[in-house]
Amino acid sequence: MDETAVVAGETEVATGADWNPVERVILERRSVRKYKDRQVPENVVRRILEAGRFAPSAGNAQPWKFIVIRDRAMLDEMERDVVRLCKVFKFFLDWRTSPLGRSATWLMAQTFIRIKRNQLHPIPFGAITLIAEGKLRAFHGAPTLILLLEDRRGVSRPQVDIGCCGENIVLAAQSMGLGTCWVGFVELLKYGLKWRKRLGIEFPYRICEGICLGYPVGNPQGMIEREVMDVDWYEDGAMRKVRQGGDDVTV
């Protein structure tokens, strides 16, 4: 498709037309979990942060702050602290292996899971176990980590804004041939004063998400199947189900 696709106005997009460059960046992005040691040049990181800075936010509150960490010793220390905390979580919550006894740990795990329903979903819980056992690196050895801090005074739901901001960052990086991976586990660094002090994080800010950034090893990018879904489509006084996705659907 030619560049007119990104010009605002009455541009027509034919059914089945090739994806435009922006769509390609969106559709082909994958999370990268293996990075080269080579550092990303500073100007490139700053360009990527510009994409974050221009993200939409409720009331244009821009409830975010960025911290860029490229100090290898500091990143390694963060990794060690996350591993330590994952080990603590695993000790208390993994009823299959906990030395506290199966029944007591099972009860404790069930309670925690109800309180922290999203954090202790089986997927992050599985990752906690892998990190604790040294089978998965929390920051994937990336040379750059961008911390996204949330300004709690933001309008409405600042975490939604952080999501928009982070995705702009991820897509801008992808468009430049870089790899990224969101790192929800930075949340663990919120516990305790250590990292808040080290990084000078004070109210109204708190760590929300992290994105690691670097040059990918190999070529992990590419489109993969996503869930096919039905969209409820209201038009001309009627509702119909529109199937979104799947090999037999051309858009």
Interface residue list for ligand FMN (CB under 6 A): 30-31, 33, 181-185, 209
CA-based nearest residue to 138, from 149, 151, 124: 124
Q: Give the shortest CB-7-to-ligand FMN separation in angstroms.
A: 29
Radius of gyration of the chain (CA): 21
Q: Which is nearer to ligand FMN, 45 or 186 (CB)?
A: 186
Contacts of 166 (CB under 8 A, 6+ apart): 52, 148, 182, 209, 211
Q: Which two tokens stand for residue 215?
A: 């040059």
The span from the first CA to the last CA of the chain, in angstroms, equals: 14
Q: Which is nearer to ligand FMN, 40 or 188 (CB)?
A: 188
Q: Maximum distance among all alpha carbons in the chain?
A: 66
Whether the CB-CB separation of 67 and 196 falls below 8 Å is answered with: no
Residues linked to residue 234 through DSSP beta bridges, in sequence order: 239
Q: Which is nearer to ligand FMN, 108 or 127 (CB)?
A: 127
Q: Which is nearer to ligand FMN, 30 or 196 (CB)?
A: 30
Q: Give the shortest CB-119-to-ligand FMN separation in angstroms.
A: 11
- Which helix (H) or strand (E) segment holds residue 211: the answer is strand 205-214
Q: Give the shortest CB-103-to-ligand FMN separation in angstroms.
A: 31
Q: Which is nearer to ligand FMN, 33 or 36 (CB)?
A: 33
Q: Give the shortest CB-17-to-ligand FMN separation in angstroms.
A: 23
Q: Give the shortest CB-240-to-ligand FMN separation in angstroms.
A: 29
